[in-house]
Amino acid sequence: MPPRNLPFLLISIYLLHFLILSASKPLKEPILNPNSAHFSKKAKGFEEPTRKSIKLESLQRSQVILSGNTTIYSANKTFQLGFFNPGHNIRWYLGIWYASIPTPTYVWVANRENPIKHFSSAIAEISENGKLVVMDQNSSTILWETSNVEKASDLKLLEQGNLVLLNDEGRVVWQSFDFPTDTWLPGMNLTTQQWLTSWKSSSDPAPGRYSLRLNPPDYGEIALVYSNGSVNSSNSNSYTYWTTGKWNGNAFDGVPEMTIRYIYTFEFVNPFTPMAIFGYTESSADGEKPPLTRFVLDHRGQLKQFTWSLQIEYWNMFWSRPENLCRVYGLCGDLGFCSVRTGSPCTCLDGFRPVNGVSWNESDFSEGCHRESDVICGENEGFEEVGMVNYEGAKVVSFTASRSKCESECLRNCSCIGLLHNVRSNLCKNLYGSLFHIWNLTSDSTTDEKLYVKVPRNNADKKNKKMTVFIGMICGILVILSLGTINLLYLRRRKVKRRRGDEDGAFPVTNLRVFSYKELHAVTRGFSEKLGHGGFGAVFRGELSDSSLVAVKRLERPGGGEKEFRAEVSDFGLAKLVGRDFSRVLATMRGTWGYVAPEWISGVAITTKVDVYSYGMTLLELLGGRRNVEGPPSASGGGEGGIEKWFFPPWAASQLIDGNVTAVVDERLGSTYDKTEAERLGLVAVWCIQDDESMRPTMGMVLKMLEGVVEVAVPPPPKLLQALVSGDSFCGIGERVSQGDAPGSFNDNVLTSIDLKDSQSSM
C-alpha cells in the first residue's frame, strides 16, 4: 500500500507544474476541415483563450481539477482532452480531439446535452464519490458525470483516444469507449447497448436523429437508423434506411470492401445473438505505424470513413454510405425537398420556408418547412409542379380521372396537400396528411408520375410569371446568338472571297505567283504529259504563257499537301484526334498490338479495365527502360524470313514471377534503385496485363498497391502471353524455345521475339 500522504504530495507536484507552464503555447483555433463532420469557428469579437497543456498522462486522486484553459495529452500526444467550443462563444464542452494534426477533429464529447456557458467557469474533476464530473464553477451545477459505481481515483487518456477512470488497484471502472458519440475509433466496439449517435448540426454536438447500431432482432448486421425524437428513447419512431447486409463469417454481404484487409481487421464476436460485439483494429503491412483513421456518422446521416494523409495534411474520405445523400431518411424534414444537384442538399418548395431559419442555416434541416402564409381552405389556391420525386408519409387516394378533376377534388378537401398525376395512364392520386422525405428521382427512373403541391394562388401565378420571363430571356439569347452566327459566317465568307482575289496576283511579301487549279489545268494541257511519279502523286510537264517550262505535281489524295509535312498522331489513347478521313488507325506492333487489351481483338464488351492493361504495359517499359518490341541487346542470329524484334512483356513477367527483378530493371540504373520498390512496380504491372479482365485491379487499387498500402501478391503468368511465347514467330536470346517445352509455359532462359512481317500481315 502507498503511504497515506502520497496523494497530497502528488497534488503539490501538479500544482507546482501548473505554475511552471505559464508560458505554454496556445491551442490553435479549431478549423473546419472540408471532410470533417465538425466545424469550429470564432465568433466576432471573441478571442480564443490561452490553454495550458498538462504534459502528463493522467490526473490522480480526488479533487484534482481540470480547468477551462488546461488540457491533457495522451502518451504520444496523439489525442488531447480539454474544453472546446465548436462554433459559439456561449457553449463549451469537455471532449477529446486529435492533437497530432493541425486541424482539431473532435472524436468524443462528454456534456453534449448540457454545455457550459462561460469558459472561465468550466471545470472537470474527480468528485468525492469517485466520478468524473463536469461543472459550472459559478453555479456549482453538475452538468455531466460518469456512471461508474466503483469509486475512481485516477484519470488517464490512452493513446487510442480512450478516456479511462481507474480505481486504487489500477483497474478500469469506466471508459469513454463504452459511451461513444458520433466517432468510431479503432478498438471501440458496437454492441446491443452502445452505438454511434450523430451531432445535431455541424456546430452542435447534441444528439441528432441518426444512429449506427447493431440491427435487432437478430443482431447479424449493422444499420443506419433515423429516429423521430430522442435516439435513446424507446418511444421514438425509428426507420432503418441502410444496412450492411448479413454477416457471412468474413464480411457483411453489402460491404464487399471489408474483404480487402490492408488497413483494418474486423471482428464480429457472438453474431446473431444479444451478446454480439463488433469492432475493428488497425494494421500495417510494412510494420510501421498505421495512418490515423476513423468512422464518423455525420449530422446529415451519412456514415463516412476517413484516413489522414501526412503528405497533404488532409482527411481523405475513403468510403461513405449511403452514397446518395438524398437516400438519408428524413434529411430535409416535412415538406423539405432534397436534391444532390444543388449546393445545399435541402431546399423548401416555392411557397414554403424553413420552420427554424437559424437551424436551417447551420445545416440542421430536421424541422422541415411550412407555408409562407396561411390561406383559407378552398380560396385562392393553386398547384405547383415539383416533378418526378419520391416521398414518404402521405396517405394516397387514387382516381381514374384527368388532372383537372383531381385538382378540383383536392381543392374541395382541406386535408389534401397535393396530387400525383400519370400522363400515360391518366391515373391521378390525391395526397393527404404530410409529405416527408421528398427527393428527386434519377433520369433513368421508370415512373411517369409528377408531384403537384397545393400552394397559394399568388405563388403559382408568380412562378408562371417567372417562367414567362425565363422563356423570354432564353428566346432573346437565342436570337442574339443566331444573329452573331450569321454575322460570323458572312465575315468568313467575305474573307474567303478576298483571299481568292489575292490568289490571282502574288504574295505581297515574297512576290511569288499563286496559280489556281484552272490555270494549272491549262498550263499542263489537262495534265496530259506525265514526266514521272513521286511518293504523293504524279509530275506533269507544263508551259507558262511566257514560254517558261514548269513541272507540276498533282497530289493524289485531298489534303495531302497540307498533311504530308506535319507529324501525325494516330494511335493509342488518342482516338479523338483521328481525322475524319479515317474510320480507324492501325500502327506497328508496338503502337497497337503491344498495348491494346485482348478485349479489343476478341470483340467482347469493353470496360475501363482495357486502360489498366495498357497502363501495365507502360509500367513494364518504365521498369525495363526498353520498348515492348525492339532490337535485342545481344542477339545471336537474325531469325529466318524477317527482321527479328524482341517482345519484352512475357519474358519480363516470367522473371518477375520468379523473383528475378534485377534482370528486368534497366541496366543503366546500376545499383541506384530500391529493389523492393522495383519488385512492387513489376508485380503490379503483371497484375495489370492479365488477359482475364476480372483479374486486373482497378486503377484505385493500383494506386494503393504502388503506394504500399496494399500488399502485392505474386500474380499468375498471363495466359495469352504464354501462348504467344510458344508460337513459331517467337525465339529467345541465342536459342529458340525447345520442342520439349510444354506449350504455353515460360522458359526462364528465353527472351521472346516476334517477326514483324508475320504480325503485320496478321493485322
Binding residues: 553
Q: What totals of helices (H) and strands (E) does the chain contain, helices first?
A: 14, 41
Q: For the CA atoms of 317, 320, 323, 325, what is the dihedral angle to 10 degrees?
A: -90
Which residues, 6 or more positions from 127, have their beta carbon under 8 angstroms from its beta carbon?
A: 62, 133, 145
Are the CB atoms for 198 and 182 separated by under 8 Å?
A: yes
What is the Cα–Cα distance from 689 to 668, expressed in whole angstroms? 25
Sheet order of strands, 222-228 included: 196-201, 204-214, 222-228, 237-243
Looking at the DSSP assignment, which residues form a beta bridge with residue 504?
none
Which residues, 6 or more positions from 69, have their beta carbon under 8 angstroms from its beta carbon?
A: 49, 50, 51, 52, 119
Are the CB atoms for 29 and 47 separated by under 8 Å?
A: no
What is the Cα–Cα distance from 61 to 57, expressed in whole angstroms? 14
Hey, what's the cell of 580? 475524319
Which residues, 6 or more positions from 599, have their beta carbon under 8 angstroms from its beta carbon?
A: 605, 606, 607, 609, 610, 693
Hey, what's the cell of 662? 534485377
Ranges of beta strands (E only) in 271-363 are: 277-282, 293-297, 303-309, 314-321, 336-338, 346-348, 352-354
Annotated binding site for ATP: 553
The alpha-carbon radius of gyration of the chain (Å, integer) is 38
What is the Cα–Cα distance from 358 to 17, expressed in whole angstroms? 44
The DSSP letter of residue 92 is B
What is the Cα–Cα distance from 600 to 607, expressed in whole angstroms? 10
Environment class of 493 (CB within 10 Å of its CB; exposed 0-12, middle 13-18, buried 19+): exposed
Length of the chain: 763
Chain-centroid distance, C-alpha 605: 26
Cis peptide leading into residue 715 (ω within 30°): no
Hey, what's the cell of 2? 502507498
* End-to-end CA separation in angstroms for the chain: 89
Tell me what percent of the chain is helix, strand and coil, each rounded to the nearest 5: 25, 30, 50
Full DSSP string of 207-220: EEEEEEEEPTTT--
Are the CB atoms for 351 and 456 separated by under 8 Å?
A: yes
Are the CB atoms for 198 and 299 separated by under 8 Å?
A: yes
What is the Cα–Cα distance from 586 to 572, expressed in whole angstroms? 9
What is the Cα–Cα distance from 125 to 113, expressed in whole angstroms? 19
Hey, what's the cell of 566? 506535319
Identity of the amino acid at 614: S
CA angle 366, 410, 421 (to 5 degrees): 80
Phi, then psi, of 116 in degrees rounded to 5: -95, 135
